[in-house]
Amino acid sequence: MEKSYPIIAKEGWLFLAIAFFASTLLTYIQNPLSWIAWTVTLFILQFFRDPLRTKPSKKNVILSAADGKVIAIEKMTNPYTNKSSVKVSVFMNVFNVHSNKCPVDGKILEKYYYPGKFLNAALSKASLENERCAITIQTKEKKTITCVQIAGLIARRILCYKDKGDEVKAGERYGFIKFGSRVDLYLPTNASIKVNLGQTVKNTETIIAEI
């Protein structure tokens, strides 16, 4: 986990500043719309929250890269490495934390970005048709995990701060998706899955699988 970072994600500072200024101004001039402005400000505040998380001490695990609900666990070919894999998908609604964390320690072998559609991220076809950014990480045990940020119906901005060749740590903040989205993890076929369909998970804290 990173040594420190703001509890409100930096991606939200501008939005929050504008909303707070507008809310304060409307309140000062006693505009009846001020309560709507403050409601929007509170929504922005909760959306861009990025609480510190403590990762498990257990070794050889794959951590959740996102907060949300597990909507898919299925065997399929990893479209980025062309290897047989198990895909675990987590859907984030607008009330989830949208900061993304690295699922394992390792080195980024490849980074892929694909422009695409903005379908409902809960749909299966969103994995291959929506705008997305994927990083493939190789662990020191030579295990390969692909982590894919996927835009959604409302989400239109994927931010990934890591590049090919970067060393990463499990629980390290590596990206953010603005306003509702999905993260897919492609895992080795021998990974022991530790979550169930419909389960609510948290980035860094929830163990998705053991390898």
- Residue 210: beta bridge partners? 61, 192
Which entry of 64, 99, 127, 181 is annotated as an active-site residue?
Answer: 181
Specify the fold of 61-210.
Answer: Glucose Permease (Domain IIA) (2.70.70)
**Angle between helices 13-28 and 34-47 in degrees, nearest 10:** 160
Q: Considering just the CA atoms, what is the radius of gyration of the chain in Å? A: 18
If we measure between CA atoms, which residue out of 204, 192, 17, 205 comes closest to residue 88? 192
C-alpha distances in Å from residue 17, one per residue of 47, 66, 72: 14, 25, 37
Token duo for residue 172: 């390290």
**Which of 203, 175, 166 has its CA nearest to residue 62?**
203
In the chain, the DSSP E strands lie at 61-63, 68-77, 84-92, 99-101, 106-114, 132-138, 144-151, 157-160, 167-168, 173-178, 181-188, 192-193, 200-201, 207-210
Are 48 and 8 a contacting pair, CB within 8 Å?
yes
**What pLDDT was estimated at residue 18?**
92
Q: How far apart are CA 157 and CA 179, in angstroms?
A: 8
- pLDDT value of position 131: 84
**What is the pLDDT at residue 1?**
42
Model confidence pLDDT, tens digit, residues 150-189: 887 665 678 899 999 999 999 999 988 876 688 999 999 9
Q: Is 181 a catalytic residue?
A: yes
| CA–CA gap between residue 103 and residue 172 (Å, rounded) | 8
The domain segmentation of the chain, as residue ranges, is: 10-47, 61-210
Q: Are 161 and 174 in contact (CB under 8 A)?
A: yes
| Residues 12 and 177 sit within 8 Å (Cβ to Cβ) | no
Residue ranges, the chain, pLDDT below 50: 1-3
| pLDDT at residue 125, rounded to an integer | 75
> Residue 199 has what pLDDT?
97
Please report the pLDDT score of residue 119 as a whole number. Answer: 67
Question: In the prediction, which pLDDT does 2 show?
Answer: 47
